Amino acid sequence: MGKEIERKYLVKGNQWKNLAQGVVYRQGYIPTVGNTTVRVRIVGNQGYLTIKGENIGETRSEFEYPIPVEDAEEMLNSLCDRPLIEKTRYKIPVGDLVWEVDEFAGENAGLIIAEVELQEENQQIELPEWIARQVTDPKYYNANLVKNPYSKW
């Protein structure tokens, strides 16, 4: 079974942008009951379907499968809640970790979040200088940014 352990942080400044090239992501969420999320995502010319379980601390189950981009496009257009999540992701290696910095567009424009996946919940990490503060909170989950976009905060 797949597990995801991650922490999320707000980002300060823009020096991080010089550390990696961004890739555009478009994603949406198929409505579900309870705390399970079903995400449809397009990255470049590849589609993905991801199922995530409920968080227990900073850990949750995660299963991701590649799907044809045409299927992902159809799911985004016909099955997903609005607004869709639009963002550019920058993958920045720092030491043994890879930080994923998401610069949001659309209804979440202005929000920049860095997340890092860990091996264990109590793992100690050194924060890059462009990290502001930790926000590992459901409010900042992409699935919740559909329901309550940053532009409405």
113 touches 131 (CB < 8 A): no
Q: Give alpha helix (H) positions in 97-147.
A: 142-147
Chain centroid to CA 137: how far? Answer: 13
DSSP 8-class letter at 100: E
Catalytic residue among 9, 29, 48, 150: 29
Active site residue 90: no
81 touches 91 (CB < 8 A): no
Residues designated as active site = 29
